[in-house]
């Protein structure tokens, strides 16, 4: 039924101005729509991301959004670190930490948070 339809990630933030600086300035996403201080839609590859204002921002304790960056993961992590992004380090079964990248089970993955604590990640798929 929905297998051929595009899906969009929705990220709650407390402060859209701060979020705009992070998603555009730090992550390099392009705004494609802005609904007057309530919602900003960003383009990311062939998908979009809705960043909206909510009092429930940052309450999700699990990964909210994943970028599949392929073999570029090491370069992307380095570039984000240069922009001040701090990476999260987790104790994950089957994964070992190499710098800021968790490696194992045939994959590489790195987690970081946006200013509101939303957990975002990069994966080499």
Q: Residue 1: how many CA atoms within 13 Å on its side-chain side?
A: 0
User: In the chain, what are the domains?
Assistant: 9-123 (3.10.180.10)
Q: Is 25 left (phi over 0), alpha (psi -120 to 50) or beta?
A: alpha
pLDDT digits (tens, 9 = 90+) for 60-110: 999 999 999 999 999 999 999 999 999 999 999 999 999 999 999 999 999
Question: What are the distances in angstroms from CA 48 to CA 82, 96, 99?
Answer: 25, 31, 30
82-95 pLDDT tens trace? 999 999 999 999 99
């Amino acid at each position: 039924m929905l297998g051929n339809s595009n899906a969009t990630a929705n990220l709650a933030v407390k402060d859209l101005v701060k979020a705009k600086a992070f998603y555009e300035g730090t992550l390099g996403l392009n705004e494609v729509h802005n609904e007057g201080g309530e919602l900003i839609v960003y383009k990311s590859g062939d998908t979009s991301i809705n960043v909206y204002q909510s009092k429930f921002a940052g309450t999700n304790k699990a990964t909210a959004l994943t970028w599949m960056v392929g073999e570029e993961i090491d370069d992307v992590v380095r570039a984000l670190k240069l922009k001040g992004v701090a990476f999260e380090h987790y104790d994950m079964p089957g994964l070992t930490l190499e710098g800021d990248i968790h490696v194992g089970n045939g994959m590489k993955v790195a987690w970081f948070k946006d200013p509101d604590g939303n957990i975002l990640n990069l994966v080499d798929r």
